[in-house]
Amino acid sequence: MPELPEVEIVRRGLSPLITGARIDNLILRRKNLRFDFPVGFAKKISGTHITGVLRRAKYLLFELSSGQIILSHLGMTGNYRFFAPVKPGHFEKHDHVIFELSGTNPPSPFLIYSDPRRFGFMDLIDNQEDCAFLKHLGPEPLSNQLSAQMLRERFATRRGPIKTVLLDQRVIAGLGNIYVCEALFRSGINPSTPAKNLAVPNDCAQSDKLEDLTRSIREVLHEALEAGGSTLKDYRQVEGQSGYFQHRFAVYGREGEPCLRPACAGQIERAIHSARSSFFCPTCQT
């Protein structure tokens, strides 16, 4: 599933090409993705202009001149690309939503949303504050809201493994399995550690760990952005390129391989937390 860096890269790819564009027509080639499309979806947005492309957590937000917002979640296999069909109406099997655009200069007037597994979805909302998908999200990890003190406050009553807590979008928005595994490795924290154990008041060692974790989260996300995200299977940038951060994984997907930390003789192991795979080095993540 695309995580924060991948969604942000898609946003950056789309924004300069479609901001200011007019949606002349919206073609829905099926009635639903994960959920049904909003009633009258195509009619409501046809004729509007895209005034901005934002991101919140793992959601793309297309601001419209009508004041409404198209909320788009990529699910596991969703992607956006520009495509000019060889023949009118001749799109590919998994091209489910087609935006016909005018007024800007994109590579093609057709912006395609394709999703082989259809776990993504789209909604039409009036504002972010009242949107059920957005209103309970935690702070953005790349914002100034992320701090060791913020983590301490949010971990204080959490008995679950820190890996599970960091994946809770109400705690921090946008973090996913890959980048949590990598951040915990960099900060030397075992994913099974109860989150509240890192929030002990006046414990200097734990305070240092929270500072390390805060820094590691930021670093791994910034590095992933610079590398174009991580492509494990389906993710592609708007221009069609793969990401390259998967070549820098220290632990994710490396079960049974040696730890890459200098002077560590450990071997990467895999554990399950809340039905998700956690990869870590038991020797240096204590």
Catalytic residue status for 3: yes
Neighbour-count burial of 18, counting CB atoms closer than 10 A to its CB (0-12 exposed, 13-18 middle, 19+ buried):
buried
Confidence check: pLDDT of 182 > 90: yes
Catalytic residue status for 58: yes
DSSP per-residue codes, 163-179:
HHHHH-TTTSSS--HHH
Nearest alpha-carbon partner for 7 in 127, 141, 194? 141
212-251 b/e (C-beta count within 10 Å ≥ 16 → b): bbbebbeebbeebbebbbbbeebbbbbeeeebebbeebbb
Query: DSSP 3-state assignment of 200?
Result: coil
Please give the domain boundaries of the chain with CATH numbers for all domains.
Answer: 4-125 (3.20.190.10), 148-280 (1.10.8.50)
More confident residue, 208 or 169: 169
Distance from C-alpha of 285 to C-alpha of 167, rounded to nearest angstrom? 18
Q: How far is CA 27 from CA 4, 6, 32, in A?
A: 28, 25, 12
**Options 11, 58, 158, 163, the catalytic residue:** 58
Location of structure tokens 């309970």: 136
Mean of the pLDDT values across residues 194-201? 90
pLDDT digits over 63-93, tens only?
A: 999 999 999 999 989 999 998 776 767 788 9
Q: What's the number of CA atoms in the CB half-sphere (13 Å) around residue 18?
A: 31
| pLDDT averaged over every residue in the chain | 92
Distance from C-alpha of 205 to C-alpha of 166, rounded to nearest angstrom? 20
**Options 116, 223, 276, 282, the catalytic residue:** 276
pLDDT digits over 254-275, tens only?
A: 999 999 999 999 999 999 998 9
DSSP-assigned beta bridge partners for residue 22: 49, 102
Query: DSSP 3-state assignment of 148?
Result: helix
The confidence band for 232, taking pLDDT boundaries of 50, 70 and 90, is: low
**Options 3, 6, 8, 182, the catalytic residue:** 3
Catalytic residue status for 182: no
Mean of the pLDDT values across residues 121-150? 95
Confidence check: pLDDT of 212 > 70: yes
